[in-house]
């Protein structure tokens, strides 16, 4: 015999609870039961399901059941869990919460099938960039800051993911990695507008190239290439709150300019330096810097999560954490992408 419990929430409590449920792809009732019973089994299995879907072989139909070991599914998943996983994952994908997976037709057993589209998260992000550039206000910034701020609140993805917080900033620069992968796969030989093109760190040189990239994406980023597959997984994570931090001051968004180019180890090195630092002035003490790093869950950028200048991970292997890249030196892109995937997966547990 089952019993029902009625709970009254304030409007704010309801909105926060609904936001959490939507983020997980769960119904309000399912999340309420999980919280009430302190039951994490569904959440753990569901996280496993999403991970398996994110690395499923491209362009091959799959079902929720087919992602798991057959014996495990048969012996360790009760009917209620199976139905909840199927319904929740369907709503998650339908709500475009997993851009690399699309819903396809049901199989002969009337079971819903899905398919992983490696290039879809990359296309999604490129279209965001193009749309932002095309629709941003075409007026002078000085004297019209509020207009630009309102636009950014509604259209900048970092702001969208943080309820319009203008202090929001990207952690891993996908534009930088996209440039590097394209150049690497083309062996440095990209022909665009009848001339040789090198993806540049300067945005003004890169924006016009994006439309060409969209039209020729399967040539420049072959979906069956292992490094493109990894890049897709990182793009998927980059579209989530895990790739956004809240800065203590908007002026720190200058970290996107030369010579840092959004390279997070370079930024961390700057705020941890005691002297001659470009960004340290926004912090009154080392303790305040460490509190910021902990509050934003950036410990994963340090060896053993021990916060100090000397422990900053040299992700791009430049032998100097203050350098994003070294001119003329090839980056170990596969290793770099793996590192960022691991870091964002850890951060995703907090958001």
Three-class DSSP category at 4:
coil
**C-alpha closest to that of 309 among 342, 347, 280:** 280
Kindly tell me the burial class for residue 75, based on how many C-beta atoms sit within 10 Å of its own C-beta (0-12, 13-18, 19 or more). Answer: exposed
Q: What is the pLDDT of residue 324?
A: 83
The predicted pLDDT at position 161 comes to 96
* Cα(35)–Cα(50) distance, integer angstroms: 20
DSSP string, 95-146: TTSSTTEEE----TTS---EEE-TTHHHHHHHHHHHHHHHHS--S-STT-HH
Contact predicate 305/299, CB 8 Å: yes
pLDDT attached to residue 125: 96
234 vs 296: CA distance, rounded Å: 19
What average pLDDT is seen over the chain?
89
Contact between 300 and 293 (Cβ < 8 Å): no
**Predicted pLDDT at 12:** 78
CB 166 within 8 A of CB 248: no
Dist. CA 74–CA 316, nearest whole Å? 44
The pLDDT assigned to 17 comes to 80
Q: What angle do CA 118, 178, 180 make, to 5 degrees?
A: 125
DSSP 190: E
Which residues lie closer than 8 Å to 31 by C-beta, 6 or more apart?
17, 20, 21, 24
Residue 116 neighbours by CB under 8 Å, 6+ apart? 53, 54, 56, 57, 58, 59, 60, 62, 100, 101, 102
The tally of CA atoms less than 13 A away on the side-chain side of residue 347 is 27
Cα–Cα dist 350/296, whole Å: 9
* Residue-level pLDDT at 193: 75
pLDDT at 37: 62
DSSP state of 62: B
What pLDDT is recorded for position 2?
A: 64
- In the chain, which stretches have pLDDT less than 70? 1-2, 23-25, 36-39, 199-203, 276, 326-329
């Amino acid at each position: 015999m089952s019993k029902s419990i009625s709970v009254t929430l304030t409007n704010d409590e309801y909105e926060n609870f609904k936001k959490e449920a939507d983020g997980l792809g769960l119904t309000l009732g399912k999340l309420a039961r999980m919280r009430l019973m302190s039951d994490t089994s569904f959440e753990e299995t569901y996280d496993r399901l999403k991970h398996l879907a994110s690395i499923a072989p491209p362009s091959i139909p799959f079902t929720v059941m087919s992602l798991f070991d057959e014996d495990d599914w048969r012996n360790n998943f009760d009917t209620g869990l199976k139905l909840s996983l199927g319904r929740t994952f369907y709503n998650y994908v339908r709500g475009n919460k997993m851009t690399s997976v699309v819903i396809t037709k049901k199989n002969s057993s009337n079971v819903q099938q899905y398919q992983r589209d490696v290039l879809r998260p990359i296309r999604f992000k490129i279209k965001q960039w193009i749309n932002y550039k095309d629709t941003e206000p075409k007026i002078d910034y000085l004297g019209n800051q509020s207009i630009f701020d309102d636009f950014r609140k509604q259209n900048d993805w970092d702001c969208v993911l943080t309820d319009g917080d203008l202090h929001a900033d990207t952690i891993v620069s996908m534009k930088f990695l996209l440039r590097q992968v394209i150049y690497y796969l083309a062996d440095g030989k990209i022909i665009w507008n009848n001339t040789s093109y090198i993806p540049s760190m300067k945005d003004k040189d890169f924006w016009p190239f994006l439309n060409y990239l969209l039209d020729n994406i399967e040539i420049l980023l072959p979906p069956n290439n292992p490094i493109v597959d990894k890049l897709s997984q990182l793009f998927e994570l980059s579209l989530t709150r895990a790739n956004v931090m809240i800065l203590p001051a908007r002026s720190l968004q200058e970290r996107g300019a030369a010579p840092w180019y959004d390279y997070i180890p370079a930024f961390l090195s700057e705020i941890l330096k005691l002297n001659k630092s470009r960004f340290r002035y926004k912090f009154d003490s080392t303790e305040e810097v460490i509190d910021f790093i902990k509050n934003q869950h950036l410990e994963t950028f340090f060896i053993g999560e021990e916060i100090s200048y000397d422990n900053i991970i040299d992700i791009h292997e430049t032998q100097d954490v203050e350098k994003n890249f070294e001119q003329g030196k090839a980056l170990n892109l596969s290793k770099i992408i793996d590192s960022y995937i691991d870091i964002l997966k850890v951060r995703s547990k907090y958001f």
